[in-house]
Amino acid sequence: MQSYNENELVSTKRGNLDELKKKIEDLDGKATHHVIGLIPKKGDRITINGLQYKVVAADPIKGTVRAKLLKPKGR
């Protein structure tokens, strides 16, 4: 989860949904909105700026993703 005050990032936290709800309550008044998302898993297809990639490796602890640009079959 990332918490923002307008467009400024103020916090990044990990945890299950109940833990994140508690952290949202703790940040009351310090953040205007929160974004909860998932780190993609190996084999997932993701789109970044309109380009499609296949996830080669992902590390949810470090928050890193390695992906390979998809190409048409036969090339």
Kindly report, residue by residue over 18-64, the tens digit of the pLDDT: 999 999 999 988 999 999 988 899 999 999 999 999 999 999 888 89
Six-digit token string for 32: 């205007």
pTM of the model: 0.67
Hey, CA dihedral for 24, 28, 34, 39, is it positive or negative?
A: negative
Distance of CA 21 to the CA centre of its chain: 17
pLDDT at 15: 87
The number of beta carbons lying within 10 Å of the beta carbon of residue 34 is 17
pLDDT reading at 13 higher than 70:
yes
Q: Which residue has the tokens 């190409």?
A: 71
pLDDT reading at 75 higher than 70:
no
**3-class secondary structure, 18:** helix
